[in-house]
Amino acid sequence: MRVITGTARGRKLEQLVGDDVRPTTDRVKEAVFSIIQFDIEGRRFLDLFAGSGQMGIEALSRGAKNVVFVDNRRESAAIVKRNLQTTKLGENAKIVMSDSISFLNVTGEKFDFAFLDPPYGTGLLQSALSKTERVMNKTGLILCESPSNEEMPEKLTDFVRYRVYKYGKIKITSYCHKEFAEE
């Protein structure tokens, strides 16, 4: 696993090990950043269920103003910290060791982009998604990684499903504010 482009391009990242670990593939990571490539610079990014932090680190490498990494596992927080040190991108990063729902319920921060990639088949994606729009700026975009056969809601409260991108057995579903969905 490596940083694809930007100031930390080519840097190798540590990753979690174990049967329950499923890092985002380089193909999917490239696809996500192709979707937001012209809008990431200077924006705030939420890496929910951060794991190794590769998505947030990629955002920082590409010019994101700052990134908040949220994961409830101590091992994940430690790996994110080491990966930020390796890439020298820690200055604009914050690591929060918390479960996603608790974080979303209490944070007062607002984000321009949120990436959600919880363990598959746990119901966490739908639970977190319904709360994520509360922490989004009106012009923000929520990106969810899930198995391609998982049903994703068409609309939340103010955010609606915008586009779905399929990459083999994985899909990325994007949500934007309903005012911007028709553009």
The domain containing residue 66 runs over which residues?
26-180
Residue 91 falls inside a structural domain: yes
Please report the DSSP string for the chain in residue order: -B--SSTTTT-B-----STT--PPPHHHHHHHHHHHTTT-TT-EEEEET-TT-HHHHHHHHTT-SEEEEEES-HHHHHHHHHHHHHHT-GGGEEEEES-HHHHHHH----EEEEEE-PPTTSSHHHHHHHHHGGGEEEEEEEEEEEETTS---SB-SSEEEEEEEEETTEEEEEEEEGGGTT-
Residue 2 falls inside a structural domain: no
Residue 101 falls inside a structural domain: yes
Residue 6 falls inside a structural domain: no
Q: Is the pLDDT assigned to residue 113 strictly greater than 90?
A: yes
Residue 18 falls inside a structural domain: no
Cα dist from 98 to 102, 109, 149, 158, 166, whole Å? 7, 15, 28, 25, 30
Q: How many domains does the chain have?
A: 1
Q: Lowest-confidence range among 19-28, 101-110, 135-144, 149-158?
A: 19-28
What's the whole-number average pLDDT of the chain?
91
Residue 20 falls inside a structural domain: no
| Predicted pLDDT at 107 | 96
pLDDT in tens, 41-79: 999 999 999 999 999 999 999 999 999 999 999 999 999
Predicted confidence band at 102 (pLDDT cuts at 50, 70, 90)?
very high
Cα dist from 79 to 52, 54, 146, whole Å? 6, 10, 23
Residue 135 falls inside a structural domain: yes
Q: Which of 25-34, 80-89, 172-181 has the highest mean pLDDT?
A: 80-89
CATH assignment at residue 154? 3.40.50.150
Residue 88 falls inside a structural domain: yes
